[in-house]
Amino acid sequence: MTTRKAVDVSVDAMIEDLRTLVEVESPSRDLDALRESARAVAAVIETRLGGKAMLVESEGGPHVHWSGGGAPRVLILGHHDTVFPLGTLARRPFLVEDGRATGPGVFDMLGGLVQAIHGVAGLDDRSGVEILVTADEEVGSRSSRALIEERALACGAVLVVEGAADGGGVKTGRKGCGTFEVSVAGRASHAGLEPAAGVNALVEAAHQVLDIAALARPEVGTTVTPTVASAGTLDNVVPARATVVVDVRVESADEKERIESAFAALAPHLDEAVITVEGCVGRPPMPESAAAELFAVARKLLPGLEGRAVGGGSDGNFTAALGVPTLDGLGAVGGGAHADHEYLLVASMAERASLVAGLVDAIRSA
């Protein structure tokens, strides 16, 4: 692979496009908001790159797909949904001040989208480049996974423009992640008159929480974290139902299988209690080997660039699991993903746009 010099991009133009996207709120699962957001993303792409950005309808909202024509060689992958509910913008409007852009979604991951679009716009030849911007990454990518995998296999290389790792590094590995919901069915009774006649779903859920937490193996990178629980109706009723939601992160396929088998084998402690489990490790682990070749090219383009394995998942997990070379964390440099202090460092925008452009050129010249 060969490398190239930086592309000529306008930071002011990137800021304006970022403002446009941030000011169209796009919470996951809000289909009306996502349609408006998808149209805004498509308009930015068409304005900067020409051609037609297609809206791919799905039950999770519209995905945006653009192609520069020719044989597909590289897929730039991102998402336009955010975790922030409608009305967040009124409380936290888009603002650029003291070298930082702030507002809902600037770091995760609208800034990365804008940088990638402008990076590709700086190339004289855009053939072989595809951009896919999905609508449901923040809620599991159920409606977009098949399309992501199809285009990744067709292109043969994937650049994920999620936010950078701490310090501006790229993400060379990710844990597999998933969510499990454990439901307990017991039997209600009067807590004062005949508590023994009931089957206390809350007590059973407490046993299950301890069993589930014990599945963790932090020494091999496996975390199993009960995160949400609910039970009961009134203070004088033995609860008949309870639920426990669990976040799981794993570094290997073996651990994925072990955890899924362990959840399937959960057994009740109380007589007549019934346990039902739903969920899986939906995003497979992204091994660092999947990023090795592209990371080596990125370091030639940007000497000193660091690569980090992280605990969070992205759509890069899916493409890496297919054996498609995948480099993640190529988006905005900043921090505070999913938080009120989310920010993007403006001074890094041109460099990151050039990094994406350079990787595209290197992949196409291989």
Same domain, 87 and 180: no
Q: Which residue has the higher pLDDT, 312 or 17?
A: 17
Same domain, 16 and 120: yes
Inside any domain, residue 6: no
Per-residue pLDDT for 6 more than 80? no
Query: Residue holding tokens 């920010």?
Result: 343
Q: Considering 283, 316, 344, which residue would you say is the last residue of a domain?
A: 283
Same domain, 135 and 234: no
Express each pLDDT in 338-363 by its tens digit: 999 999 999 999 999 999 999 999 99
Task: Give the C-alpha separation, 160 to 137, whole Å.
Answer: 12
Report pLDDT for 7. 87
Inside any domain, residue 3: no
Express each pLDDT in 86-115 by its tens digit: 999 999 999 999 999 999 999 999 999 999
Nearest to 278 by CA among 181, 141, 185: 181
pTM (2 d.p.): 0.91
CATH number, domain with residue 229: 3.30.70.360
Inside any domain, residue 2: no
Same domain, 333 and 217: no
* Helices 111-121 & 31-49 angle (0-180, nearest 10): 20
- What percentage of the chain reaches a pLDDT higher than 70? 99
- The stretch 291-308 carries a mean pLDDT of 97
Task: Give the C-alpha separation, 162 to 283, whole Å.
Answer: 16
Task: Give the C-alpha separation, 155 to 72, whole Å.
Answer: 5
pLDDT, mean over the chain: 96
Same domain, 290 and 146: yes
Residue 88: which domain range?
Answer: 11-175+286-365
Per-residue pLDDT for 1 more than 90? no
Nearest to 75 by CA among 132, 117, 123, 149: 132
Same domain, 18 and 45: yes
Per-residue pLDDT for 303 more than 90? yes
Report pLDDT for 2. 42
